[in-house]
Amino acid sequence: MTWIDNAACVGEPSSTFYLGDGEHMRPGRFDRARDLCSACPVRQACLDDALELEKGWGSHGFRGGLTADERMKIIRRTTQYRKPTRKRVRAAKSKPEQKPAPPPKPPAPNARTPERYEAWRASPAYAMTLAAYEAITDHPDLALAARRRALLEAA
């Protein structure tokens, strides 16, 4: 059950709330609708629904106890209302849908990750590489021997 089921206007003809074809607004046109809405238990819900539907698009008829012009005054007062133009409507329709960001890529199989580094340090290849560096750094003809030795000691 929705608020519409409890409305006082249930069963009333639509001509009570909407202008007919070729009919123009005149004083007293919606008096019957005003009387119904003034006693309606769900008037606020009806008005909220009408205002939500009309933001940016305008409307017609009598809903929530107010005419379309009265509702538009409320919308203009309470929001940053911009009357829709063909250009704005086309622009809104032509905006491409934003795709969600792709999931992060897993690291490449040969990527230098901390896990791979720790596994390499635990391997026999690391020990052989370290021994080779020690042999190189002990060579008297290399100018970088002292710097390499300091780097190895820091590691």
Tens-place pLDDT, residues 63-86: 888 888 888 888 777 766 566 677
pLDDT of residue 122 exceeding 70: yes
Cα torsion 146, 149, 153, 155 to 10°: value is: 120
pLDDT of residue 137 exceeding 60: no
pLDDT score of 141? 52
Among the ranges 65-74, 84-93, 107-116, which has the highest mean pLDDT value?
65-74
Mean pLDDT of the chain: 77
Residues forming beta bridges with residue 67, ordered by sequence position = 62
For 68, residues 6+ apart whose C-beta sits below 8 A from its C-beta are 54, 58, 59, 60, 61, 62
Instruction: Report the pLDDT averaged over residues 44-55.
Output: 80
pLDDT score of 136? 62
Half-sphere exposure of 81 (CA within 13 A, CB side): 17
pLDDT score of 142? 55
Tell me which of 5-14, 21-30, 85-94 is least confident. 85-94
- Give 25's DSSP letter: -
Tell me which of 20-34, 39-53, 105-119, 126-140 is least confident. 126-140
Kindly report the pTM of this predicted structure.
Answer: 0.47
Instruction: Report the pLDDT averaged over residues 48-52.
Output: 82
